């Protein structure tokens, strides 16, 4: 129904623009005067507001027009925080659209004096107790070819769930955050991003060492972000759920100030469900799961999540799919009243094997409910790279699990369901998509029980942030040398054997 609406709307908009003597074009990375890298993001109240960001090659005037069906309703809305400024050789445009009507499907165009227009659609939250979203992570591509593979994964998610309220991209949009990569990302993803609202999460490849890139690629609510140098933290409500987005580039990987922000943020909502999105993963068996930055989250962030009643944490970074059982204090809780952690798999084509040398040192299999390594082939010793968890073992092989992962999450009142899928890589000569469900689980709860227990301001000044850097660094250092390093030393013999025999690190 919604897809049909999108097609009809696109035709209507194109016809209207042509009648007005204007030319239309798709996202115009091919046209020096057109708009490209367009995104419609959550920003503030998801029932009445949206953030838009787009780029032009040169300083040409462009404007956004919002449509309710055929009617141009832009003049009845508020266009706030309008920004147009040069950024890294291009021009960045941002606007916060306010005054939208809840539960309505809108169309929009980005128009310039030269007549180029880009079209898209989005739907506002209708205020009921349902929400649905698609989670993807780690496209982390450079070439257009690999971005297109990631886009194929998201497209499969949107085909399966065309009524998704938003897409959560859990970070590492690109590999090196260069203009060329973001342009390739735009070419592959613009048509998908234009069809749905986006909730972007900063990954280490989007933020570290490329200051302000992430902040300048999207129009986000940065009013409570502890710092915007290498990512943004923000939160929003959708349906009966509250979502907090963390920046795990912050002080390698989370500062005390951001933990405090999360603590206050999660206590300030009375929504039934509390969900955290972030890039790095506290629970993983992938390549990066052995380093202190990710493992530090297991000693800090998990405590905040438990204290504030977070139900689900979704992350990326380690390019494999993994779900924990319900955990509290790093232990499995049988009553299900802990926190479930989902490492969301990669939507792209760079995938990590299991580092089983970590088992017993940083993670134990009994905490895991599901695991899929999306990688095929074998190493020089004939040991398969690809395996998945079943009945506590790690040696099952399924060629249909070699591909990109998307996660489909739906919340309906007191029931949250997450289903994760692999869309199999196309081999030469193959044309049919093969989509395999790799995980499915349901959380249930009694609704209407959460009470907001915090109502104060939740902002961090630049002075407070600077003041907190030293203690944040000290905490990480104490963890690294007091906890992580002794464990790493104990693990080292097994790690060396794995490097020698399996050629993975
Ligand atoms: Fe990453």
Q: What is the pLDDT of residues 100-156, one digit of tens each?
A: 999 999 999 988 766 667 889 999 999 999 999 999 999 999 999 999 999 999 999
Taking the centre of ligand 1 as the mean of its atom positions, its distance from the CA of residue 305, in whole angstroms, is 21
> How many angstroms separate the alpha carbon of residue 203 from the centre of ligand 1?
5
Which residues are CB-neighbours of 162 under 8 A, at least 6 positions away?
1, 2, 3
Percent of the chain with pLDDT over 90: 79
Q: What is the CATH number of the domain that holds 206?
A: 3.60.21.10
DSSP string, 314-336: EE-SSSSEEEE-SEETTEE-TTS
Distance, CA 204 to ligand 1 centroid (Å)?
Answer: 5
User: Cα(141) to centroid of ligand 1, in Å?
Assistant: 12
Residues 268 and 286 in one domain: yes
Which of 105, 123, 141 is the endpoint of a domain?
Answer: 123
Give the Å distance between the CA of 288 and the centre of ligand 1.
8
Same domain as 261, residue 212: yes
Same domain, 135 and 272: yes
Same domain as 349, residue 315 = yes
One domain, residues 147 and 22: no
State which of 400, 427, 444 marks the end of a domain.
444
Tally of structural domains, the chain: 2
113 and 171 part of one domain: no
290 CA to centre of ligand 1 in angstroms = 13
Domain assignment present for residue 36? The answer is yes
DSSP letter, residue 349 = S
Are residue 83 and residue 165 in the same domain, yes or no? no
Place of tokens 């504030």: 308
Digit-coded pLDDT (tens) for 36-52: 899 999 999 999 999 99
Residue 206 Cα, ligand 1 centroid: separation in angstroms? 9
Note the pTM of the prediction, 2 decimals: 0.93
User: At which of 123, 150, 183 does a domain end?
Assistant: 123
Tell me, yes or no, whether 257 and 382 share the same domain: yes
pLDDT tens for each residue of 168-220? 999 999 999 999 999 999 999 988 988 999 999 999 999 777 789 999 999 99
| Same-domain pairing of 264 and 409 | yes
Measured in angstroms, how far is the CA atom of residue 205 from the centroid of ligand 1? 6
Residue 199: how many CB atoms within 10 A of its CB?
24
Does any domain span residue 228? yes
Range of the domain at 188: 130-444
CB 311 within 8 A of CB 445: yes
146 part of a folded domain: yes
Expressed in angstroms and rounded, the spacing between residue 448 Cα and the centre of ligand 1 is 36
């Amino acid at each position: 129904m919604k897809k049909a609406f999108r097609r009809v709307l696109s035709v209507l908009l194109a016809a209207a623009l042509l009648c007005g003597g204007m030319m239309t074009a798709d996202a115009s990375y091919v046209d020096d005067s057109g708009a490209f890298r367009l995104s419609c993001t959550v920003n503030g109240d998801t029932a009445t507001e949206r953030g838009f960001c787009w780029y032009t090659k040169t300083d040409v005037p462009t404007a956004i027009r919002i449509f309710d069906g055929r009617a141009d309703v832009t003049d009845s809305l508020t266009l706030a925080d309008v920004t147009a400024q040069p950024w890294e050789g291009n021009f960045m445009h941002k606007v916060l659209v306010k005054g939208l009507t809840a539960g309505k499907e809108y169309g929009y165009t980005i128009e310039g004096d030269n007549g180029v227009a880009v079209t898209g659609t989005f739907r506002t939250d209708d205020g009921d107790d349902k929400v649905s979203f698609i989670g993807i992570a780690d496209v982390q591509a450079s070439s257009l070819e690999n971005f297109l593979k990631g886009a194929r994964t998201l497209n499969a998610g949107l085909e399966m769930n065309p009524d998704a309220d938003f897409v959560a991209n859990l970070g590492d949009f690109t590999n090196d955050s260069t203009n060329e990569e973001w342009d390739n990302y735009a070419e592959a993803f613009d048509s998908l991003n234009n069809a749905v609202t986006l909730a972007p999460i900063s990954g280490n490849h989007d933020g570290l060492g490329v200051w302000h890139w992430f902040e300048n690629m999207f129009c986000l609510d940065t009013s409570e972000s502890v710092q915007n140098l290498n990512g943004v933290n923000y939160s929003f409500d959708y349906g009966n759920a509250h979502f907090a987005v963390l920046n795990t580039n912050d002080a390698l990987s989370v500062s005390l100030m951001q933990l405090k922000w999360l603590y206050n943020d999660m206590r300030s909502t009375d929504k039934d469900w509390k969900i955290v999105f972030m890039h790095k993963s506290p629970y993983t068996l992938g390549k990066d799961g052995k380093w202190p930055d990710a493992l530090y989250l297991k000693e800090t962030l998990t405590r905040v999540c438990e204290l504030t009643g977070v139900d689900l944490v979704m992350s990326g970074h380690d390019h494999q799919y993994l779900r924990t059982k319900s955990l509290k204090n790093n232990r499995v809780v049988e009553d299900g009243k802990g926190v479930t952690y989902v490492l969301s798999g990669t939507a792209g084509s760079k995938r990590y094997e299991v580092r089983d040398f970590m088992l017993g040192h940083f993670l134990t299999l009994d905490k895991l409910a599901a695991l899929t390594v999306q990688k095929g082939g074998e190493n020089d010793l004939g040991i398969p790279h690809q395996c998945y968890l079943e009945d506590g073992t790690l040696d099952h092989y399924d060629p249909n699990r070699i591909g990109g992962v998307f996660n489909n999450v739906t919340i309906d009142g007191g029931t949250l369901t997450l289903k994760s899928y692999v869309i199999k890589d196309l081999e030469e000569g193959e044309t049919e998509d093969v989509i395999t469900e790799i995980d499915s689980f349901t959380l249930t709860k009694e609704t209407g029980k959460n009470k907001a227990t915090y109502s104060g301001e939740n902002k961090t000044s630049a002075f407070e942030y600077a003041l907190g850097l030293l203690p944040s660094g000290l905490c990480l250092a104490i963890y690294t040398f007091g906890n992580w390093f002794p464990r790493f030393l104990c693990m080292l013999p097994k790690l060396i054997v794995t490097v020698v025999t399996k050629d993975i690190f």
